[in-house]
Every structure is written in structure tokens, then in C-alpha cells.
């Protein structure tokens, strides 16, 4: 995105985010999920990082949300109550770490350690103590001015009304300001929502909403009935405490409730480990958390890093995977199912949803696109239906820039050009050509087969499902698949999705003969592919070859030459090849002409125990040997593996030298 595009996008994002923030914080209403709003804020934040001079003063990143309600006394915070910037992945986290590292000296960098806390889904509060007595409790409000909710906070049992001085290491100042979080337990959340529903009232969307609603009651008795809880996480008053960890110890000693699960981490690896461990116990906790807070432990360094906008540089919220995110629709493709039905599929800018990256989402049918009001280029909220299948939840038309394109369902089949038909009873368009999709499928099977790309774990069954769901249109799409795209396939566990993505990635590098063979050109088998690779040396040269150029290659007659030439002249093939070349690295091994196997012709029969047949062939070729499929007098060696068949008999008859696996291995060693 160039600067003027970024400026445009930033302006639009600010408008949309501010609208939803107002709904949420002032009107207590929600039109889009927290996760979707977070996702938009993250995009804005990233753009502002990229173009710092485009940070507008009304940007949501520059202020803390929540205007004080009219009904409570206003309280000015001695020190601004800040918020935190979010990171959603290890990459984001590294970026934050890099950013702050640049602002530190070598020595400071070397002693950088962290204190990690559970990020409670509640409401930030400030507590002021005078002579160890609680004198004031307040909400964050807009960060500078909050609401006085002292009477309500006094009903929260875990907040000390008077703290005990048991620690003599520090002198406790007369006025002590402590910050923390009030929250409601998962059980409390459920119970209150049950009551809401019984009363015919809308249920609260999340525990934070209830906590917020409960402490802002004008009648403290209502607050008391909600059984709120609290954790303290910071001492604002300067009393010479050196580290954030010490502040927590101090809070605990003073009688505040601190979170026992919080942990000191001395390296990024330990932070990641803690994040993962917390993710695992998250379900078992009796309160909601939405991530961890990572704070630079050394207070001097933390203070030195200062504040940018609404957040300190020295801390981040490392959030858990969100179940919704916003992204862009790059394209809408149409896929033809095995029954001929056409399904539109959205190609997305890859995005993480529930911890997994997705790049495709089914749109079901034409009517669904109309219902969503979706255009190509739109920013959308995507989710995973039933936590599995990626789907487009909502379009955000406010973010359009005029370049979006209307999607038009094709009138003829994009695969075989047959005129499409729409039945009266369904919302589906169909291609009636029985051969259409079957052909495509076969090309796919061939592409991943052993002698071609040899992609492990990708058999016909999975290919069928990938095609049926519209996740892939041609074999080059395989390399774009993300884990989350595949998990949607029924009975496809996340683990196997991950494995498959990995085994596809492993095959990005391919030898030229295999690559040529994989293209599925008519009359070009594995041997012809080897001849072509040897002769031309690169796919580009082969692509440019004229019909006459094939005449000089032994083993290639006019029919084969014709079909090769035709294939490379077809515009669909050219497009496919160009796409494919973006994803793969094609290598052409030098032929070793001086090798001991040069000029020797091998025939393989039966199974080898120590290696796959294709690998054996590759080794022979790499050493200058040739492979033949049938035994003749010119054959030099017949390699006989287990259960060798008629080729072995023929070799014996012709007096061709037969070697076993052991001898073969020595030969190619
Ligand atoms: S430390 C500079 N620790 O998350 C703010 N915050 O977006 C330092 N929160 O407003 C806050 N649990 O209300 C901290 N263990 C924790 C927290 C926590 C929840 C909230 C807090 C803050 C928001 C940051």
C-alpha cells in the first residue's frame, strides 16, 4: 500500500472504529464482535507504525476509550490510566521486541526480562489508600478522568478496605495508589445472563460488560449481588520499587489479591512458553482471560521507554487467537463440484482466525453473495462457523474506496465453456458437461503422484474434497493452502492439516524432469520428460521451443512433438504454468557424463526395500545412467527387487545381467 492509499485507509478505519467504540462504550451496544473490532484496530495500528506521520490526533490509538457516565462524580487520575497495544502472534511479538530494543542501550538490551500476567477480561480500576484506608475507587474513564465508584468497589470482598503493613523493606507512603482489574467469574456470568433472559432482557456479550455494568450501578446493593472479584496488578505511587515482579510481591504482602499464575520470564522463549501454557489452562480457570500481559520487568527501563499514544511502549497484551478477524476479499472464484454445481469461493488475504491461518472461504451460492452485499475488494469480517469452516460473516461497506468490483456469476463453465443452467428449485448453477470436472480431477491426481510432485498424504480422496469445497481450482493452488483452509474438511484434524501444508511446502523444490512430467502433457511420460529436460535444460527454453526443435531429440516423434507444442501454445496452460512458477523452484541436475553409469541402461523390476523406485531412478539418472521400461538386448542391468516379474524372466532369457538390491546399492553408492 502506498502512502496516499494508506492515508485513505487510515481515515476510513478511524471513522469505522470510532463509530463502533461509541456504540460499545457509551451506548452499551454492539454491532460487531470485540474480535472484529480488535482486528480493525490492529490494522490501523500497523499502518500507523508504517507511516508514523499519518497518526491523526483523533485516531483511536491515541486515546483511551470510555467517556465517563453523567451519573458519577468525576475523578482525575494522578497518572494517566493507559491501555495496552495488542499483539496476536509470535511474529507481532518479535516486532514489538525489535521496536523497543532499538530505543535501548546495549547494556539495557542485555538485561531485558519480563513479567507476564494473565490478562483478565474485566474492568480496570484505581484504588487510592490514605493511611492504609481505602478512600477512593474509580474506573478508568477516558484515562485521565474516571468515575468515582468507591461505594460499589467496597462491596468487592477481595479489595482490602484497609491494608496491612507487613513489609518493612519499603516505606509505605501516606497516599498509595494501586491499580487492578475487577471481574466476574464464569459462573457468575452465566447466572446473571440466565436471569437477564428470564426477564426478557438481552444477555451480556461478555464478562467485561457485566463487570462494567455492575460497578456502575447507582445502588451498591446491586453491585454487591453480582459477587465481583478482583486482582491487583500495579502500584502507581513511586516508592522505589525496582521491578514489576517486586511490585506484585509487595501487593500480595499488603493483602491485595494478586494472580498466582503470573510468572517472571527471563527470555522471549520463556514468554512464549508461558503464553502456550496459559492457553492450555485457560478453559479450566473460573474467570475469563483473553491473553497475557507482558511487561518489561525492570521499572527503570519500562519508564525510559515511555508512552506512545494511549499505551506504554514497555508492555503489550499478547492476545489469544480470536474467533473473528477482518480481512480483504482478493477475488471470488467459481469452483465446479463433481456434480457440476458451481460454488463461489472467496479468496482472502491470509488472516489468522482461532489460531489458524485461512485464505479461502466458501460463499455457498450466488444468493449468499447478494445477501452479504459482497464485492471483490471488500473488507469483511471472517469467522469460522462452528469453530471450523471459514465463512464471511459481514461486509464492512464503510471501508470501500471505490475500486471494489461487483461479482458476476459466469454464464459459461469456466472449465469447459459449456453453457450453464440454473434449476428453478435450487439457487445453484450447474455445468451439464459430464467430462468437465472429471478431467480436471485426473490432472490433479497426476500432478501429486509419485513420479511427479510426489506429495505425501495427498491422495485422490483428499484432492476430491479440496476440489469439492472449492479450496483449489488448479494444482498451483495447492501451494497457497493454509492450515485453516483444510481443517474445514470433515474429519480433517488440525494436526493432519498442518502436516499436509508442510508436506506440500517440502515439495516446492522440484527437479526439471519431474516438473515437466507433472504438467500432464499428453504423450509425455516420465522418460520423455527426462529427455526433454536433458535437451532443453530449463522450462523456459522448452516453452519457447519451435516444433522443429523436437526433431533432433531421439525418442521424440512428430506426434509427441505436436502435443508438447500444442500444450505450451494453449493460453490456459500458459496461465497455469506462470502461476505454478511463482510457487516452485525448478532445479535441473547437471548430467554427469563421466560417471561410471554413463551410457548404461537399467530396467527396474520388483520392489526395492531401501528406497522408492522413483528415487532409485533419479539416482541412476544423476549418475549418467538411463532407464528403460522394457528389457532388450541393449539393457545393461536388470535390477531385481522383491517379487520381480516377467522382466526378470526375459532378462534371463536374453542373458542380460541381473543384479539384486544389495549390488545395486553398491553400484550407486
Ligand atoms: S497491566 C498500562 N495486567 O488490560 C496498562 N492489565 O488493554 C497496564 N488487564 O486496561 C495494565 N488484566 O484493564 C495489566 N494482569 C493485567 C491485566 C490487565 C487485564 C487490562 C487492563 C488494561 C487492559 C489493557
Locus of grid cell 545395486: 664
Q: How far is the CA of 111 from the centre of ligand 1 (A)?
A: 24
* Residues in the chain where the model's pLDDT stays below 50: 64-68
Catalytic residues: 119
To the nearest 10 degrees (0 to 180), the angle between helices 436-448 and 460-468 is 130
Nearest of 622, 623, 668, 653 to residue 639 by alpha carbon = 668
pLDDT tens by residue, 263-311: 999 999 999 999 999 999 998 999 999 999 999 999 999 999 999 988 9
Q: How far is the CA of 103 from the centre of ligand 1 (A)?
A: 23
Rounded to two decimals, the pTM is 0.58
Q: In this structure, are residues 220 and 154 in contact, taking their beta carbons and an 8 Å threshold?
A: yes
Instruction: Walk me through the domains of the chain, giving residue ranges and CATH numbers.
Output: 3-62 (1.10.287.610), 74-319 (3.30.470.30), 324-416 (2.40.50.140), 437-587 (1.10.150.20), 601-668 (3.40.50.10190)
Testing ligand 1's pocket by substitution, the residue of 77, 127, 181 carrying the most ligand atoms inside 8 A of its CB is: 181
Testing ligand 1's pocket by substitution, the residue of 119, 234, 312 carrying the most ligand atoms inside 8 A of its CB is: 119
Testing ligand 1's pocket by substitution, the residue of 37, 64, 83, 259 carrying the most ligand atoms inside 8 A of its CB is: 83
Q: In this structure, are residues 431 and 336 in contact, taking their beta carbons and an 8 Å threshold?
A: yes
Instruction: Quote the pLDDT of residue 455.
Output: 94
Which residues belong to the annotated binding site for Zn(2+)?
413, 416, 436
Which residues belong to the annotated binding site?
83-84, 117, 140, 181, 319, 413, 416, 436
Q: How far is the CA of 307 from the centre of ligand 1 (A)?
A: 15
Q: How far is the CA of 233 from the centre of ligand 1 (A)?
A: 8
Instruction: Quote the pLDDT of residue 107.
Output: 95
Nearest of 565, 509, 504 to residue 532 by alpha carbon = 565
Minimal-distance CA residue to ligand 1 atom 16: 119
CA 374 – CA 363 distance, rounded (Å): 10
CA 25 – CA 429 distance, rounded (Å): 45
Burial of 437 (0-12, 13-18, 19+ CB in 10 A): buried
Instruction: Quote the pLDDT of residue 65.
Output: 42
CA 125 – CA 133 distance, rounded (Å): 16
Burial of 52 (0-12, 13-18, 19+ CB in 10 A): exposed
Which residues belong to the annotated binding site for NAD(+)?
83-84, 117, 140, 181, 319
Q: How far is the CA of 316 from the centre of ligand 1 (A)?
A: 9
Measured from the CA of 118, which atom of ligand 1 is nearest?
15
> Using a CB cutoff of 8 Å and minimum separation of 24, what contacts does 307-310 make?
307/80, 307/82, 309/55, 309/59, 309/61, 309/62, 309/63, 310/61, 310/62, 310/63, 310/64, 310/82, 310/83, 310/143
Amino acid at each position: 500500500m502506498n502512502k496516499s492509499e494508506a492515508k485513505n485507509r487510515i481515515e476510513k478505519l478511524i471513522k469505522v472504529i470510532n463509530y463502533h467504540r461509541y456504540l460499545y462504550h457509551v451506548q452499551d451496544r454492539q454491532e460487531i464482535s470485540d474480535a472484529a473490532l480488535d482486528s480493525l484496530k490492529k490494522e490501523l495500528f500497523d499502518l500507523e507504525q508504517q507511516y508514523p506521520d499519518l497518526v491523526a490526533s483523533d485516531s483511536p490509538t491515541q486515546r483511551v476509550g470510555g467517556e465517563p457516565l453523567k451519573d458519577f462524580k468525576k475523578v482525575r487520575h494522578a497518572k494517566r490510566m493507559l491501555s495496552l497495544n495488542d499483539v496476536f502472534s509470535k511474529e507481532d511479538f518479535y516486532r514489538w521486541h525489535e521496536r523497543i530494543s532499538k530505543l535501548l542501550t546495549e547494556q539495557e538490551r542485555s538485561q531485558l526480562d519480563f513479567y507476564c500476567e494473565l490478562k483478565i477480561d474485566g474492568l480496570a480500576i484505581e484504588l487510592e489508600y490514605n493511611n492504609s484506608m481505602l478512600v477512593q475507587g474509580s474506573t478508568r474513564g477516558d484515562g485521565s478522568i474516571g468515575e468515582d465508584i468507591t461505594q460499589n468497589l467496597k462491596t468487592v470482598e477481595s479489595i482490602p478496605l484497609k491494608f496491612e503493613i507487613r513489609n518493612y523493606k519499603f516505606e509505605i507512603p501516606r497516599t498509595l495508589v494501586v491499580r487492578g482489574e475487577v471481574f466476574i467469574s464464569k459462573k457468575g456470568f452465566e447466572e446473571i445472563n440466565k436471569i437477564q433472559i428470564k426477564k426478557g432482557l438481552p444477555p451480556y456479550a461478555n464478562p467485561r460488560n457485566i463487570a462494567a455494568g455492575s460497578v456502575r450501578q447507582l445502588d451498591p446493593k446491586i453491585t454487591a449481588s453480582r459477587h465481583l472479584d478482583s486482582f491487583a496488578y500495579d502500584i502507581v505511587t513511586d516508592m522505589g520499587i525496582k521491578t514489576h515482579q517486586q511490585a506484585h510481591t509487595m501487593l500480595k504482602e499488603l493483602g491485595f489479591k494478586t494472580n498466582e499464575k503470573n510468572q517472571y520470564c527471563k527470555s522471549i522463549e520463556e514468554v512464549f512458553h508461558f503464553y502456550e501454557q496459559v492457553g492450555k489452562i485457560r478453559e479450566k480457570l473460573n474467570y475469563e482471560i483473553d491473553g497475557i500481559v507482558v511487561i518489561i520487568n525492570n521499572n527503570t527501563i519500562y519508564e525510559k521507554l515511555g508512552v506512545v499514544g494511549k499505551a506504554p511502549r514497555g508492555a503489550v497484551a499478547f492476545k489469544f487467537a480470536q474467533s473473528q478477524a477482518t480481512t480483504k476479499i482478493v477475488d471470488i472464484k467459481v469452483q465446479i463440484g463433481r456434480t457440476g454445481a458451481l460454488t463461489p469461493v472467496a479468496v482472502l488475504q491470509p488472516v489468522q482466525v482461532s489460531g489458524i491461518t485461512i485464505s479461502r472461504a466458501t460463499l455457498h451460492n450466488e444468493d449468499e453473495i447478494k445477501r452479504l452485499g459482497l464485492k471483490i475488494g471488500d473488507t469483511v469480517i471472517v469467522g469460522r462457523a462452528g469453530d471450523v469452516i471459514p465463512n464471511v460473516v459481514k461486509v464492512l461497506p464503510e471501508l470501500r474506496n471505490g475500486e471494489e468490483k461487483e461479482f458476476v456469476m459466469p454464464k459459461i463453465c469456466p472449465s469447459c465453456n459449456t453453457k450453464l443452467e440454473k434449476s428453478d428449485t435450487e439457487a445453484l448453477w450447474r455445468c451439464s458437461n459430464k467430462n468437465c470436472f472429471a478431467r480436471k480431477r485426473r490432472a490433479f491426481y497426476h500432478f501429486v503422484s509419485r513420479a511427479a510432485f510426489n506429495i505425501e498424504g495427498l491422495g485422490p480422496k483428499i484432492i476430491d474434497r479440496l476440489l469439492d469445497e472449492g479450496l483449489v481450482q488448479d494444482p498451483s493452488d495447492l501451494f497457497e493452502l493454509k492450515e485453516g483452509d483444510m481443517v474445514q474438511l470433515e474429519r480433517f484434524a488440525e494436526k493432519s492439516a498442518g502436516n499436509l501444508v508442510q508436506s506440500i511446502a517440502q515439495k516446492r523444490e522440484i527437479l526439471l524432469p519431474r516438473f515437466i512430467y507433472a504438467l500432464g502433457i499428453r504423450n509425455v511420460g516420465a522418460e520423455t520428460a527426462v529427455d526433454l529436460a536433458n535437451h532443453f535444460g530449463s522450462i523456459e527454453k522448452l516453452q519457447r521451443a519451435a516444433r522443429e526443435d523436437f526433431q533432433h531429440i531421439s525418442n521424440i516423434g512428430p506426434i509427441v512433438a505436436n502435443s508438447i507444442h500444442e500444450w505450451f501454445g494453449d493460453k490456459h496452460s500458459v496461465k497455469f504454468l506462470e502461476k505454478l512458477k511463482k510457487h516452485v523452484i525448478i532445479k535441473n541436475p547437471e548430467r554427469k557424463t563421466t560417471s561410471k553409469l554413463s551410457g548404461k541402461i537399467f530396467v527396474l523390476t520388483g520392489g526395492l526395500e531401501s528406497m522408492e523406485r522413483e528415487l532409485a531412478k533419479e539416482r541412476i539418472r544423476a549418475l549418467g545412467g538411463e532407464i528403460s521400461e522394457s528389457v532388450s538386448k541393449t539393457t545393461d542391468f536388470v535390477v531385481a527387487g522383491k517379487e520381480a516379474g516377467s522382466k526378470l524372466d526375459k532378462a534371463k532369457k536374453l542373458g542380460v545381467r541381473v543384479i539384486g538390491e544389495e549390488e545395486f546399492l553398491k553400484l550407486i553408492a
